[in-house]
């Protein structure tokens, strides 16, 4: 019989989630450096500017990374507090 302790599973998921956290953080940093502003400022400016497909594409990608980053942070908190299920 194989015994797997809950903490070992949590540690494994945390390692994977922290790796994803850092990858997404790097993408957010890339966009912040590219446009020299945060996402909130960029999103307000894009509403006022002429049609620019590159900016709009970056906006959509940046927005997705912002949401993913929030989801990952929540997942980390859930794992730290033992709030997860295995199927």
13-17, 46-50, 83-87 — which is least confidently predicted? 83-87
DSSP letters, 31-70, are HHHHHTS-HHHHHHHHHHSPP-HHHHHHHHHHHHHHHHHH
Q: Report pLDDT for 2.
A: 86
Helices 6-35, 39-48: inter-axial angle, 10-degree rounding: 50
pLDDT tens, 54-70? 999 999 999 999 999 99
pTM: 0.87
Q: Report pLDDT for 34.
A: 98
pLDDT tens, 13-47? 999 999 999 999 999 999 999 999 999 999 999 98
């Amino acid at each position: 019989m194989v015994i797997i302790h809950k903490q070992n599973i949590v540690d494994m998921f945390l390692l994977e989630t922290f790796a994803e956290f850092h990858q997404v953080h790097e993408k957010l940093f890339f966009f912040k450096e590219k446009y020299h502003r945060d996402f909130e400022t960029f999103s307000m400016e894009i509403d006022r500017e002429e049609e620019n497909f590159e900016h709009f594409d970056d906006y959509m990608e940046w927005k997705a990374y912002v949401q993913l980053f929030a989801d990952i942070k929540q997942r980390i908190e859930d794992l730290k507090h033992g709030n997860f299920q295995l199927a």
